[in-house]
Structure 1
Amino acid sequence: MTPYRLNRLFHPTSGRLLDVAVDHGFFGEASFIAGIEDMRSVVHTLVAAGPDAVQLTLGQARHLQSLPGKQKPALVLRTDVANVYNNPLDEVLFSHHVPHAIEEAVRLDAAAVCVNLMQLPGHPEVREANIRSILALRAEATRYGMPLMIEPLVMQDNARAGGGYMVDGDIDRIVTLVRQAVELGADLIKADPSDDLRQYARVIEVAGDVPVLVRGGGRVDDRTLLERTAAVLDAGARGIVYGRNVVQHRDPAGITAALLSMLHDGAGVDQALALVGEES
């Protein structure tokens, strides 16, 4: 894999990355659409806020890439769709990657593509489907010099978790799945935070020289979000991929500025929080 597209993702001084994920509508779960009903407006708001990248789907990438100018965020293209977030789950679960996904990413001028590696209790067929997708995408990504971001998701039992992202923060399980993603050829890792963030350096260690970006998951208050961000950056994470904590925020520009100040300027939690103020 050539590093050229990665140069469009990572900040030239800090070497870090804020990717705002707005690919939630791909997964067919009604609750995921809250706050992103009008995608054209959402993307315009994010471009004005200025994160390093925006993560979008094949059908929504045009809202970013049709905008003029060289300074807009880079595109990360989501390449796979699954039905694993509903509660109750469908009788048959699936995960499929977009046909010719890497060619589509090249045509859309993406800087990277993203694909899941899910460990869902009782459903090994989903993980198998993910691995098949990763192997197919890795071959084409190498051919076109397209960075492949693998998203290892250690998930809780759907019925117990009540649906949604169902993150299992067990550090041993996260480390194991992250290592599998590295072994499968990830150029970037998009990983869950662990329950005990003091152990997160283990994730960074097992990823080796593959940059680790930490997912945001469900909505939390601003201080919790920024404290979590500080902890994973201190552990060695190279960036963050946050979605609902930005696009569902009352002030997307403010929380983006706060996160960018931590990533690129070394701001502390209180300094960053002052840029947005705490939510009531």
Structure 2
Amino acid sequence: MRLSQKARMNRMFTHGGCLDVALDHGVCNEPGFLKGLENMESVVSTLIEARPDAIQMAYGQADLLQSRPEKDKPALVMRIDMGNPYNDQRHRVMWSALQNHDEPIIGALEMDAACVVVNLFMLPDEPDLFHQCVKNISRVRAACHTYGMPLMIEPLVMLPNDVRGGYQVDGDAEKIITLVRLASEMGADIIKADPTADPEDFHRVVETARVPVLVRGGGKEDLKTVLRKSAALMAQGAKGMVYGRNIYQHDNPKAVVNALMAMIHHGASGDEAWDIYNRG
């Protein structure tokens, strides 16, 4: 890894772990994702005060973080692609595209991002969508190498739309491991992976990746359940989490951040993290 890549990753992985709070949901064009993100300036201010390791945003909102003067504010992780697999109805044409095809990471360089993130979608009967993602990653990987930018790849294995309706993750360990291996082979510096249906299988995802693995959060769940599941995944070798709705849609995002940071950086158990959350 080049020194510039290592320096950027050090801004995310403080003391070896990372809590990346995802606020990049506006690019998904899904109304339900935006609950809690109506006032982005307020959300970013709350999170800067809460002090996670990183905040994940798209170019058009990144100024709300990077214009702030705090020296110890969270690192910026920039989402540089978008697509339509997140909606509750399957589209006639499924697509994924880079936000800037010709210079895919120029916005991240402009905004002094610590990392960029792109999707690797695997949907049933959607080979063209998968192919688009592979092409996107290939283009981004080359740009990241040129400019020393770490690349986070987000492999997403999804269930058929008619199983549960809309954007739903397939927790099959074999499918996740296979797609994580592809992301690793394509040159990921960080992998954002879905949890396996059985958390005890997640060590296999970590071993396959050979780079730091951050657990993807998905939809909002009962917080005590989230904390216990997160602790189990950390015990399997995850280096942290990329959580969005389980933080920003919560009544007290700062308390949730405190609980997760204690888990990532101080080895708190799920029950200990729950106690930390309740202390506010």
- State the alpha-carbon separation in 1 of the partners of residues 125 and 48 from structure 2: 40
- State the alpha-carbon separation in 1 of the partners of residues 87 and 242 from structure 2: 22
Determine the structure 2 residue equivalent to 1:236.
237
Determine the structure 1 residue equivalent to 2:208.
206
Asked if the contact 2:19–2:242 (Cα under 8 Å) also holds between the matched residues in 1, the reply is: yes
Structure 2 SS opposite 1:109 = coil
Asked if the contact 2:153–2:188 (Cα under 8 Å) also holds between the matched residues in 1, the reply is: yes
Percent of pairs identical after alignment? 49
- State the alpha-carbon separation in 1 of the partners of residues 183 and 71 from structure 2: 32
**How far did 1:31 drift?**
1.1
User: Which piece of structure 1 moves more, 59-68 or 81-90?
Assistant: 81-90
Determine the structure 2 residue equivalent to 1:254.
255
**2:75 matched to 1:74?**
yes
**How far did 1:83 drift?**
0.7
Structure 1, unpaired ranges of 5+: none
Structure 2 SS opposite 1:274 = helix
Amino acid across the alignment from 1:248: Q
**How far did 1:87 drift?**
2.5
- State the alpha-carbon separation in 1 of the partners of residues 87 and 70 from structure 2: 39
- State the alpha-carbon separation in 2 of the partners of residues 64 and 11 from structure 1: 18
Determine the structure 2 residue equivalent to 1:168.
170
- Give runs of aligned pairs for residues 90-109 of structure 1, distance below 5 A: 90-99=91-100, 100-109=103-112
**How far did 1:277 drift?**
2.7
Please state which structure has a larger fraction of its residues in helix.
2
Give the alignment's Cα RMSD to 1 decimal.
Answer: 1.1
Amino acid across the alignment from 2:124: P
- Residues 164-206 of structure 1: per-residue CA shift (max 9 Å, x gap): 3x11000000000000000001000000001011111110111
**How far did 1:270 drift?**
1.9
Asked if the contact 1:88–1:159 (Cα under 8 Å) also holds between the matched residues in 2, the reply is: no
Please, what TM-score do these two structures have when normalized by structure 1? 0.96
- State the alpha-carbon separation in 1 of the partners of residues 238 and 87 from structure 2: 30
Determine the structure 2 residue equivalent to 1:192.
194
**How far did 1:244 drift?**
0.3
**How far did 1:101 drift?**
2.6
Please, what TM-score do these two structures have when normalized by structure 2? 0.96
Asked if the contact 2:229–2:270 (Cα under 8 Å) also holds between the matched residues in 1, the reply is: no
- State the alpha-carbon separation in 2 of the partners of residues 198 and 270 from structure 1: 18
- State the alpha-carbon separation in 2 of the partners of residues 195 and 58 from structure 1: 33
Asked if the contact 2:119–2:154 (Cα under 8 Å) also holds between the matched residues in 1, the reply is: yes
**How far did 1:159 drift?**
2.4
Determine the structure 2 residue equivalent to 1:123.
126
**2:8 matched to 1:5?**
yes
Determine the structure 1 residue equivalent to 2:20.
19
- State the alpha-carbon separation in 2 of the partners of residues 28 and 146 from structure 1: 27
Amino acid across the alignment from 1:91: R
1:112 to 100, 112, 115: 115
Determine the structure 1 residue equivalent to 2:141.
138
Asked if the contact 1:29–1:85 (Cα under 8 Å) also holds between the matched residues in 2, the reply is: yes
Asked if the contact 1:116–1:153 (Cα under 8 Å) also holds between the matched residues in 2, the reply is: yes
